[in-house]
Structure 1
Amino acid sequence: MNRLALVTLSAILVLPGLVHCATQQVFQYLASPTVKLDDATFTGIFDGDTAQFLGIPFAKPPIGNLRFQVPQPVPPYEGSHTAVAYGPACPQMELIQVGILEIPPKLSTSEDCLTLNVFTPAVMLPGSKLPVVVFIFPGGFEIGSSQSVFGNITVSRSSQMHEPVIYVSMNYRLGAWGFLASEEVKQAGTGNLGLRDQRLALHWVQKYISSFGGDPAKVTIWGESAGAISVSLQMLAYDGDNEGLFRAAFMQSGSPIPVGDITNGQQYYDFLVDETGCKGSLDTLECLRGVPQETLQAAVDETPSMLSYQALVFAWMPRVDGIFLTDNFQRLVQQGKIANVPFITGNCDDEGTIFSMSSTNITTSEQFRGYLKTYWAGNATDEEIDGILLMYPQDPTTGSPFGTGTLNQLSPQFKRIAAFQGDFMFQAPRRFLLHERSGKQKIWTFLSKGLKAIPFLGAFHSSDFVDEMLGRPGNMLDHLIKFAAHLDPNLDLGSSIFWPEYTVESQDMLMFGEWILSPRTIIQDTYRKEPMEYLTNFTLAHPL
């Protein structure tokens, strides 16, 4: 992987969820914000026009006997607490290191990591009941944390728009700690712990957010990448019963992904059992609970990551566990077992490019066929795989970065693999979700082509966040704030284009252009129609 790609990857993976912001510092003010929760007082900090309460525990520490267990709520709060620094991140996978460059950068981590953060406007009127945005961070279910610049940016921007909102972010368990998968895990009923951490945090919001001036009846869940996938799965949890935890959802580069039963992760569970000395134990899951953290960490770091050769065929990801998620995610959508709330879902144009950097040694169609058979479609027939090869040809003018002709051929199969991966895991699932829910709930969709000119990567996965970081009026963050406040993303700006709801009949989609100042336009969501339809049918028959 070349240096440019590595530096860009570092920015992509770190930017949304791992950036330390200045709120780590203790600012000197005449007074500090305080909030009373149960019989406790929490003291936060002011930063400009926001008040911040950081590192509040929402669950009992998942350590000791609670490792690999369903999260437990904290007992009622007591005493006095300072809430001026983020809690430690949950244990992370070590993805890659080249020279001094690490992805992700080292964070302070601990298994005792289930904390959340609340950002409010610095000035709150008595009796405020503001809309609440709950952000679920990205990172491929392998890396990330609740530390982010988006708390400050979102609350500050909402105040400028005279649509003030409250922002909440939470940690959730990652990798094997959050997504251990096997027959043993299925029998124990302890699957998808990372998603269940998120769920417990949403329950916390319902119980406590009014103390911060938030309205528990006006919660929007928002995520990017793994965070967006998580949002979609919170909509599918318990067969679509959202338990009144949220009234809207906003997904950037993530929809219900095509995965199967939790036992499909057995090989990775067995590997951990072997590597940690638990093989032969009468209860291997109980044995894993007692393994020293450094031993478990070393074993997890030997498993494939999202930047490994198999890329988006994640070792650690949400799967069908029979309790929290009862069936193939896309079949749950087909069955209508999804929370009936307004939602927005969209993609970047070139979702697959960054994940295809690790497979540039694939240079022929036969090697690509073998790659598909080994990692993506082990049970598929030769004819079915031939269909993928036909739909995603070697012709670089049809590959990703899309619309760049014969440019960006990092290797003979790179653009082909990037097109396939982006559609398989991001674009086709989004379109499937929209088609299935059209006419049944209020929905909008978008496509971002920003930063298309970046060599090899194009409008890469998460590139839409760059626009949000700039805080320019009319960007996606403005749409999110309006949506959270009014369940409609359309802006009041005179220059803003009207964003129609999506229907199967019109397939209207808001497109963000290739340059920062490019005008927004409305297009039809019909690009690559036949290949995506093929992938949808394929993944329904062959989930990962």
Structure 2
Amino acid sequence: MTSLNALKGTAAAIALGALGALGALALATAPTGAAAQVACSANTTVTLSSSSVVCGTATLGGPPGKLIAINQYQGIRYGQAARWATPGMAPLPAGTTAAPFNATAAGAYCPQGASDRNEDCLFLNVSAPQATINNTAAKLPVIFFIHGGAFVAGSGGAPLYDGATLAGNGPAVVVTINYRLGALGFLSYRNGSTVIPGNFGLLDQQLALAWVYQNVAAFGGDPGNITIVGESAGAMSVGLHLFAASTNRYVQASGKAVDSRALFTGAVMESNPMGIAYPTPQASSDAIGTAFVNSLCSSVKGAPKNCATNLSWLQSVPTTDDVMKAQTAAMKSWAANSPIGKAKVPGVQALASDATPITLPYSPVVDGALVMGQPLKGYASTYAANARPFVFGTNANEGAPFAQLVYDLNPIERGWIFNQKAYETDLGNILGKTAVPVIEAIDAYNPAKQSDTLYWSAAAAALSNVITDYVFTCANITTANYALAQSKATGVYGYHFTQPAIFDLYTSPITKGPMAACAPTKDKSGNYDGRTCHANELPYVFNTLPAVPDLQSPTSGDTALTQSMPAAWAAFAKTPSSPGAPWVAYANDGTGTVIQWNGGTLPPPKAAVYAAANCATWAPYLK
């Protein structure tokens, strides 16, 4: 379930408004910490170099009736990094044929929750067909997955992201990774000559991609055919690598640095909240970086008087626990002072300014060095010349868990129920006061046209629709249109996921039970009719339904999706430029037509989402 325990004390960040809620949700369908190693399975030894032989476990994966042996390697260290420093490539794991390195357990999670406190966390996991291990001529497509979690939580080692089915469907090599999170991964701080530049988590991702490029052939993968895939914050990361990230700083054997896009051939963005803006380094420092450092300096006993400008002390003396406590305290400060409550400019029209009203507390920054622009605007600089085919996709009710979180926490943080007045105040702060009547003219966004329920108010229902359509659906359509205009030859594909929920990934901070807005429900005929919330597509893409909480009995449609969606993702990874059925090329024709994943219908039907999401109304706020 999505756990708020790891972010306890940050509820104020949510009460500021609908879109700020994105900063406090993080998938937690994974266990905490690293698992214990087990004995390696037979036929899993892979040779990375003469001094690096690794073994793992064996399982089965692939479509029903066509299962193949899949080898899985977990907890392989790809990088090393001092606190707030650029990571470097780690040595390959030491092992010999007689005594191979045991890669049977996921590495430590990057610091996030109460039990995750290990800063040595740059690990990756590989799933690959057993038949192609040590066969460098196999040249299977590679799927490189970046997990979500609002840049503050998550791990590539979560059971939700088990790569066996995807690997068997390709066949393909599937890689999942850890990267630094929260203040350790995305702190941007500026105080005179003392600078912590931020974007460390993105650098970690680039390093992991370079590691895969250099080593995936040993697993049977093709380094010339890597597709990067991500969900939520992972999709945001993919969008940055695709549209805005500059030269990969990690050097290949040739000794030459390469463009990030030279290391991947395609990209898939699942539920990228494109309406979220990335701040400048100074804006991030002002909003949360300074508060973080001040909290760290005031809470650590014996901190020097020049603590706030003593980078060496900040990097070496505070414990990881100290850092995590300061991270929580700074998020409270961010919530109290975020521009969302005092924005002077509407919506994302302030994309590149220091007053962006819609941001996350810890996130990448547009620094002009690594990140060159806002992905909402398509390709930055001259990057369209090296464009890559990509998939974008959204779910039918992306905003529901965030809106419920706002409703649940509003009385605690603000002292009143999230009602129409609070809704209109937040909407006005985000988009400008003149936008409120324009938006409320549409019934879906007007609390007076929605209904109160046992679990949220009519205002929260309207808020859910705003987040879904504005931040997700229409923002993704906007980006796709920009990208097509910049590089017409690039293949763009879209999907809309609408399968009713049979599980609930989220936990209510009030009841500590499942979040009602995303819970499975049935109509009078006994058919599931619950909302399709943010991240609900993941257990279908990975075929990991047993790993999700509150799972109900799958229907034949659910079972069919656990087969058709992994096959479709694998098909795109095989040939991103021409993936074939079921993918249908997206065109900027004003309809927003994409394929719709719902039940077992193949090929998936088409859905015109532009009008359904009222994108013409949102267009002025997405320029």
Shorter-chain TM-score tier: 0.7 to 0.9
Which residue of the partner structure matches residue 208 of structure 1? 215
TM-score between both structures, scaled by the size of structure 1 = 0.80
Shift in Å, 1:301: 2.1
2:314 to 269, 272, 288: 288
Q: Say if 1:355 and 1:394 are closer, same or farther in 2 by CA, change over 3 A.
A: farther
**Counterpart AA for 1:463:** N
Query: Do the aligned residues in 2 keep the contact of 1:255 with 1:433 (CA within 8 Å)?
Result: no
In structure 2, the CA distance between the partners of 1:239 and 1:503, relative to structure 1 (3 Å rule), is farther
Residues 334-343 or 501-510, more deviating: 334-343
Question: What SS does structure 2 have at the residue aligned with 1:116?
Answer: strand
Distance 1:19 1:472 in 2: 27
Tell me, which stretches of 5 or more residues in structure 2 are unaligned? 7-21, 61-68, 249-258, 298-302, 341-357, 411-416, 505-515, 519-530, 546-558
* Structure 2 residue corresponding to 1:356, chosen from 397, 403, 412: 403
Question: 2:277 is matched by which residue type in structure 1?
Answer: P
1:432-487 deviations in Å (ceiling 9; x for gaps)? 11111222410001111122698533211011224333563653222100011122
**Cα distance in 2, alignment partners of residues 232 and 530 from structure 1:** 23
2:104 is the counterpart of 1:87: no
Structure 1's 262 and 253: CA in aligned 2 closer, same or farther, altered over 3 A? same
Superposition pairs of residues 14-25 of structure 1, within 5 angstroms: 14-15=28-29, 18=30
2:176 to 162, 169, 173: 169
Q: Which stretch shifts more, 334-343 or 289-298?
A: 334-343
Partners of 1:398 and 1:420 in 2: how far apart?
6
Tell me the distance in 2 between the aligned counterparts of 1:406 and 1:300.
Answer: 37
Which residue pairs with 1:345 in the alignment? Answer: 392
Counterpart residue identity of residue 443, structure 1: V
Task: Tell me the residue number matched to 2:617.
Answer: 531
CA deviations over 1:24-69 (Å, ceiling 9, x no partner)? 6625644542323352222222234221221111112x3xxx2011
Amino acid at match of 1:281: C
- Between the aligned partners of 1:186 and 1:522, the Cα distance in structure 2 is 55
Q: What is the Cα deviation at residue 390 of structure 1?
A: 2.8
Match of residue 327 from structure 2? 300
1:485 to 574, 577, 580: 574
- Given the alignment, which residue of 419, 432, 441 partners 2:490? 441
Amino acid in structure 2 at the alignment position of 1:296? V
Q: Deviations over 1:321-370 (max 9, x none)?
A: 22111233434636563551110001001111111223224544442343
The residue correspondences of 1:67-466 to structure 2 (distance < 5 A) are 67-75=83-91, 78-80=94-96, 81-92=101-112, 94=113, 108-124=116-132, 126=135, 127-149=137-159, 152=162, 154-159=163-168, 161=169, 163-184=170-191, 188=195, 190-235=197-242, 236-238=244-246, 241-254=259-272, 256=274, 257-265=276-284, 266-277=286-297, 280-281=306-307, 283-290=309-316, 291-304=318-331, 313-331=359-377, 333=379, 337-338=383-384, 339-360=386-407, 361=410, 363-372=418-427, 376=430, 384-387=432-435, 389-393=436-440, 397-398=444-445, 406=451, 410-438=456-484, 439-451=488-500, 456-457=517-518, 458-466=531-539
* C-alpha RMSD over aligned residues: 3.6
Amino acid at match of 2:471: M
Give the Å deviation of 1:258. 2.2
Unaligned regions of 5+ residues in structure 1, if any?
95-105, 378-383, 492-497, 538-544
SS in 1 for 2:517: coil
Q: Distance in 1 between matches of 2:192 and 2:72?
A: 37
- The CA distance in 2 between the partners of 1:330 and 1:302, in whole Å, is 30
Pick which of 41-50 and 172-181 moved more. Answer: 41-50
CA distance in 1, matches of 2:376, 2:368: 15
Cα distance in 2, alignment partners of residues 500 and 456 from structure 1:
32
* Matched-pair contact (CA < 8 Å) for 2:497–2:597: yes
Report if the CA contact (8 A) 1:70-1:190 is conserved.
no
Question: Residue 412 of structure 1 aligns to which amino acid in structure 2?
Answer: A
Identity of aligned residues (%): 23
- 2:41 and 2:55 in contact (8 A); partners too: no
Contact 2:194 2:309 in 1 (8 A): no
| Partners of 2:37 and 2:94 in 1: CA distance | 25
Indicate the SS of the match to 2:79: coil
Moved more, 452-461 or 437-446: 452-461
How many residue pairs get aligned? The number is 492
Contact persistence 1:39–1:79 (CA under 8 A): yes
Quote the offset at 1:503 in angstroms.
0.8
**Deviations 1:89-133 (CA, angstroms, capped at 9, x unpaired):** 0001x5xxxxxxxxxxx6544100011111111222743211110
Query: How many Å apart are 1:192 and its aligned residue?
Result: 0.7
Q: Deviations over 1:491-522 (max 9, x none)?
A: 4xxxxxx5320011263211123x57798311
* Shift in CA distance, 367/150, structure 1 to aligned 2, threshold 3 Å: closer
- Sort the Cα spacing of 1:517 and 1:451 in 2 relative to 1 into closer, same or farther, 3 A: farther
Q: 1:239 to 1:88 in 2, by over 3 A?
A: closer
What is the CA distance between 1:148 and its match in structure 2?
3.0
Which amino acid counterpart does residue 532 of structure 1 have in structure 2? W
Shift in alpha-carbon separation, 1:390–1:467, aligned structure 2, 3 A = farther
Moved over 6 A (4+): 9-12, 20-23, 308-312, 516-519
Structure-2-length-normalised TM-score: 0.70
What secondary structure does 1:392 align onto? helix
Structure 1 155/467 Cα, relative in aligned 2: closer, same or farther at 3 Å? Answer: closer
Q: 1:59 to 1:332 in 2, by over 3 A?
A: same
Provide the rounded CA distance (Å) in 1 between the counterparts of 2:330 and 2:157.
25
Q: In structure 2, what is the Cα distance between the partners aligned to 1:114 and 1:22? A: 12
User: Deviation per CA, 1:386-444, whole angstroms, max 9, x where unpaired?
Assistant: 21x234328764579xxx97475811310222222333432232111111122241000
SS at match of 1:413: helix
Give the Cα separation in 2 of the matches to 1:293 and 1:272.
13
* Contact 2:451 2:457 (C-alpha < 8 Å) held by counterparts: no
SS of 1:367's partner is helix
